[in-house]
């Protein structure tokens, strides 16, 4: 299965309580999915590279390995990391939401070229909105992992509610998070899935979720 992960820059939590959400969750999920044999594309910020480099070797690849239509929308630095294809975009693009239209265009052209079966987003609400909006435009199932970054501050009610209505599935790391979202969001129990990124079988569990979502779209 070909997958597209989207995360922007995964910042470190500012409080001890938020550490429970584990900023390394996406790294473990990406590696586990690659180990399951999936072809994983991960769109992220260049600011995340030092943390990744501390875990595994980063192999720079030539920009001509990108689909030709994707090379001129935003500057992209491609790498290989732990079997994952990294597509790194400068942090400035992620910080300015008015530039997210370029990320939208990039994702659309990437999808036309490589046809990912599922999109999965981590990070801020703006990144979740970008992923869900793009996936819905492309008629692709989309998963959002709800963590401390997405809930930080006071999320704009329109974006918070819109993402909850439109997302195919929402992943949380614990039952406590599951119960919190049932109370504080429009997510339905059928959309919520508890998946602990620390569990050894996280790759298999995510694969089962993606397969189910793809089957629902096909039917």
pLDDT at 18: 46
Question: Beta 142-145 vs 118-121: how paired, if at all?
Answer: parallel
CA distance 159 to 162: 5
**Cα 216 to Cα 100, 116, 134, 176, 219, distances in angstroms:** 29, 16, 19, 27, 5
Any idea which residue has 């990744």 for tokens? 52
CB 192 within 8 A of CB 181: yes
Q: How many CA atoms lie within 13 A of 205 on its CB side?
A: 15
pLDDT at 50: 87
pLDDT tens string, the chain, 219 residues long: the values are 999 999 987 655 444 444 444 558 899 999 999 999 999 999 999 998 888 887 878 898 877 778 888 888 898 999 999 999 999 999 999 999 999 999 999 999 999 999 999 999 998 899 999 999 999 999 999 999 998 767 666 788 999 999 999 999 999 999 999 999 999 999 999 999 999 999 999 999 999 999 999 987 665
Residue 142: phi and psi, rounded to 5, are -135, 135
The reported pTM is 0.92
pLDDT at 21: 43
CATH number at residue 164: 3.40.50.2000
Q: Give how many domains the chain has, as a whole number.
A: 1
Domain span including residue 100: 2-12+21-218
Q: How many CA atoms lie within 13 A of 12 on its CB side?
A: 5
């Amino acid at each position: 299965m070909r997958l597209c992960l989207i995360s922007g820059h995964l910042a470190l939590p500012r409080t001890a309580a938020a550490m429970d959400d584990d900023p390394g969750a996406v790294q473990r999920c990406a590696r586990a999915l690659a180990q399951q044999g999936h072809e994983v594309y991960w769109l992220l910020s260049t600011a995340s590279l030092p943390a990744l480099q501390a875990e595994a070797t980063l192999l720079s690849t030539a920009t001509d390995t990108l689909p030709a239509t994707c090379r001129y929308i935003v500057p992209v630095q491609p790498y290989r990391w732990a079997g994952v294809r990294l597509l790194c975009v400068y942090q400035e693009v992620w910080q300015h939401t008015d530039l997210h239209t370029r990320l939208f265009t990039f994702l659309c052209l990437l999808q036309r070229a490589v046809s990912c079966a599922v999109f999965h987003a981590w990070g801020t609400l703006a990144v979740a909105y970008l992923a869900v909006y793009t996936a819905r435009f492309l008629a692709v199932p989309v998963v959002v992992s709800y963590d401390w970054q997405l809930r930080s501050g006071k999320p704009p009610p329109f974006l918070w509610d819109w993402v909850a209505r439109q997302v195919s599935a929402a992943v949380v790391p614990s039952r406590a998070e599951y119960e919190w979202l049932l109370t504080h969001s429009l997510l339905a129990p059928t959309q919520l899935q508890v998946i602990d990124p620390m569990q050894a079988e996280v790759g298999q569990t995510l694969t089962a979720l993606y397969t189910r979502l793809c089957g629902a779209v096909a039917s």
